Structure 1
Amino acid sequence: MPEDQPKGSAEYINRLNKIQVLNLIRESGEISRAEIVKKTGLSAPTVTRIVDNLINAEKLVEQVGVGISSGGRPPMIVRFNGEDSYVVGVDWGRTHIFGILSNLNGDVLEELDVQTESNDNFDEDLQSAIRLIEKLIKGSGIDTRKLHGIGVAAAGFINKKSDIIEYSPNFKWKNVDIRKPLAERFRVPVIVDNVSRVMAHGELLYGIGDHCKDFIFINVGYGIGAGIIVEGKSFTGYDGMAGEIGHNRIVSPAAGGLRCACGKMDCLECYSSGRGIAELAREKIKYYKDSALGRVSEITTEVIAEYARRGDELALQLFNQAADLLGISIASMANVFNPQAIVLGGKVIKAGNFFIERINRVFQREIIQQPSRKIKVIQSRLGDEAAVKGAVSLILREVLELNV
């Protein structure tokens, strides 16, 4: 909220009212001004003034027709206008950078996926990201004056007070700044956040958030992280590092004294992440002479998942162990936060129903039993686009808060 609008001032109250009306219009799809009055409790003149401003000045709302009258003047129908406003979303991964350019409705106009060298060189990857964004803008042919901003999902411990990635175990980055060089190059707002939290925010605005405002998004990919949504808002903790479930130490007979990429011992990531599962397979294959994994040229998490579905003993053992430890860890988070749902996403979750079902069984066994309801464990609606759609949603959030 702008510092020149003290709480209680007319400007502050007007801003809050405008944000309330704008968000209601977007969530409703199409809605009449009369319905806005009913649902917000604001007066009809106030709603008329705000809606007219959102249509004529902000260009974020458009009038789409006239509703059926039940007596008196017919209702004027309005909707959120995101078709002519644009944003770039970037999923900055370990081995590739995936970007989309979409409008604020989430419709993708252009997408691009580029491979990176996996050499932990931040400056080289930054140049790859810049070239990708330039190609997205050029390829889409949009008016750059209508680009509202760039959202970036990146793995690492991001200090939200400084926007610095203090450390990324996946990349071995220390104290890198993604936001500043991109903002200077493209002259638009840039928001960078932890990939798991970004995926959770994407799910909030483009996925289950249409009916669920309290959930935990578990991202099981190269690493493991969690995004926590409480009452429709992202919970970040004191300085932005909440949700690092992957770097909690497991207490289990499975713990074998493995050192995590973060430097600690026996983190959940060592056993349940894509990286951890693949490393364990390469280490254990010598003890499983009959495993088909010993005959493949490269042992990857995708290959292990395929053989697990076929019943290969080693592959299935690794995925079952990963599922058990995930189920216990996720239940611990659920017992603390009491969410409405758990959303599973990330590439490892695509291993198959056997994996998800086992996670869910262990989770239901470990959570505090609630006779009145059962916490649902579901897959993300957004699939492989969870991170880029989430990155887009970072800018959409700022638009809906009237910050850009």
Structure 2
Amino acid sequence: MNILVLNAGSSSLKYQLIEMPSERVKCIGIVERIGMNDAIFTHEKGSQEYSEVLPILNHEIGLKKIAKTLMDDKIGVINSVDEIEAVGHRVVHGGNKFSKTVIVNREVKDNIRELFDLAPLHNPANLTGIEIAETIFTSAKQIAIFDTAFHQTMPKKAYQFAIPNMYLHQHHIRAYGFHGTSHKYVSEKATEFLNKKTSKIITIHLGNGCSMAAIKDGKTIDTSMGFGPMNGLIMGTRSGDIDPSVIFFLMKKFDKNVEEINKLLQKESGMLGLTGHSDLREISEKAANGDENCKNALQLAAYRIQKFIGSFVAALNGIDAIVFTAGIGENSDLMRKLTCDNLDFLGIDLDAKKNKIRSKEIREIQKENAKVKILVIPTNEEIEIAKQSYQVLK
């Protein structure tokens, strides 16, 4: 079965064509800078890579370009769009309406539209991707996979905020959590690796966006992100947890409005606000060369992760393994080291030599006799989306 995995952003379209159930990736690609005359289209088939700069003024033009390329004589992988049996769409926010992957119908689309207020930067683009795909891949089932769905197993004591009950019951204001596709994928890989009937795992997704999840026997019981994807850990440009009174102070002291505060916390804070840079590689290099702001930012980011590890160990009442994943989690031995420092009381004891080894496979990086496994597991959200789409259809 050919499944096209589609991740529609506000100005981008990422895609992979995956053969299921073998999980063979036939091609991958991305359309960037949608809405511009100099949009960038990149397509990879095995060792072949094709790139083009061209005007792509909207998502429909972008998706038609993808479909045409998939059928290209030289770099294509199918002869007809009818060979695609399903299109799996990443949808960021499912609210409390979606706790599992669903086949898209009118009701599903209406519900996604109703959730625009909860994810104004993501859900509208996600829905646009679905609606355009319906007109191009007419023989395919459209499948919606929600970032928040995996975390719907959280108990009420973990997701409810201490504000009047009406805001939860009438307006659904609560913690939802994000990066669920990634947390689900790596936690299942970790459970298989541990080969235990029961498990207590903390997954740490570190990229430009960062989040953690406490997972007991395959189900989330708590997560660091909440109502939106801004809180919790320190991220590339997002502040993570902040005292709400700081927001009111900034509004009053500097006469900032809601939009300005949102921009400050979403796009001007985090590692960027602390160092002037959002790329961890650049920050790490400058820290190694003595930049005090960069050294301080790394310590702040690691300390925030450590605090969540401690609280999640308490929530789980124990810990079998912690899992590092995503771009930074998989590739930055420095962040893994800073995170694991001084956690030996919890049984978390990093092996410095193992931590330096790079691999695309699952690997253990704890000391030989450490009580807690420290795992590095490459995430693959596209494969997870394809798996869930295939399971729904079967």
Which residue of the partner structure matches residue 99 of structure 1? 15
Residue type matched to 2:127 in 1?
Answer: D
1:134 aligns with 2:113: no
Q: CA-atom RMSD, angstroms?
A: 4.8
Which residue of the partner structure matches residue 86 of structure 1? 2
Once the two structures are superposed, the pairs formed by residues 121-270 of structure 1 within 5 Å of their partners are 126-127=59-60, 130-131=63-64, 133-135=66-68, 137-138=70-71, 139-141=76-78, 144-145=81-82, 147-156=84-93, 158-161=95-98, 162-163=111-112, 165-167=115-117, 171=121, 177=127, 180-181=130-131, 184-185=134-135, 186=137, 187-194=140-147, 196-203=179-186, 207-212=189-194, 215-226=201-212, 229-232=215-218, 247-248=231-232, 250=241
Shift, 1:156, TM fit: 4.7
CA distance 1:133–1:352, change in 2 (3 Å): same
Structure with greater proportional helix content: 1
Residue type matched to 2:270 in 1?
Answer: G
Shift, 1:197, TM fit: 0.8
Q: Equivalents in 1 of 2:373, 2:250: separation in Å?
A: 32
SS at match of 1:335: helix
Shift, 1:94, TM fit: 7.1
CA distance 1:173–1:281, change in 2 (3 Å): farther
Residue type matched to 2:341 in 1?
Answer: R
Residue type matched to 1:278 in 2?
Answer: L
Give the TM-score of the pair, scaled to structure 1: 0.54
SS at match of 1:111: strand
Q: Equivalents in 1 of 2:66, 2:219: separation in Å?
A: 28
Aligned residues: percent identity? Answer: 15
Which of 313, 316, 321 is 1:341 aligned to?
A: 321
Q: Equivalents in 2 of 1:390, 1:89: separation in Å?
A: 10
Shift, 1:317, TM fit: 1.4
Shift, 1:216, TM fit: 4.0
1:108 aligns with 2:25: yes
SS at match of 1:347: helix
Q: Equivalents in 2 of 1:333, 1:243: separation in Å?
A: 18
Residues 160-212 of structure 1, C-alpha deviation per residue, up to 9 Å, x if partnerless?
4334554566937679635751562333131232161111233356x435335
Q: Equivalents in 1 of 2:294, 2:10: separation in Å?
A: 24
Residue type matched to 2:192 in 1?
Answer: D
Q: Equivalents in 2 of 1:301, 1:118: separation in Å?
A: 29
CA distance 1:393–1:217, change in 2 (3 Å): farther
SS at match of 2:31: strand
Are the equivalent residues in 2 in contact too, given 1:335–1:367 (CA < 8 A)? no
Are the equivalent residues in 2 in contact too, given 1:198–1:227 (CA < 8 A)? no
CA distance 1:127–1:179, change in 2 (3 Å): closer
Shift, 1:356, TM fit: 0.9
Which residue of the partner structure matches residue 293 of structure 2? 314
Q: Equivalents in 2 of 1:170, 1:349: separation in Å?
A: 28
Shift, 1:218, TM fit: 2.7
CA distance 1:189–1:156, change in 2 (3 Å): closer
* Unpaired runs of at least 5, structure 2: 37-55, 99-110, 148-177, 233-239, 252-257, 350-368
1:361 aligns with 2:341: yes
Shift, 1:242, TM fit: 6.9
Q: Equivalents in 1 of 2:133, 2:62: separation in Å?
A: 13
CA distance 1:128–1:307, change in 2 (3 Å): farther
Q: Equivalents in 2 of 1:146, 1:168: separation in Å?
A: 35
Alignment size in residue pairs: 282
CA distance 1:90–1:323, change in 2 (3 Å): farther
Are the equivalent residues in 1 in contact too, given 2:16–2:28 (CA < 8 A)? yes
Q: Equivalents in 1 of 2:388, 2:185: separation in Å?
A: 8
Are the equivalent residues in 1 in contact too, given 2:323–2:375 (CA < 8 A)? yes
Residues 119-170 of structure 1, C-alpha deviation per residue, up to 9 Å, x if partnerless?
9xxx977436634652564221166555342223354564543345545669
Pick the structure with greater CA Rg.
Answer: 1
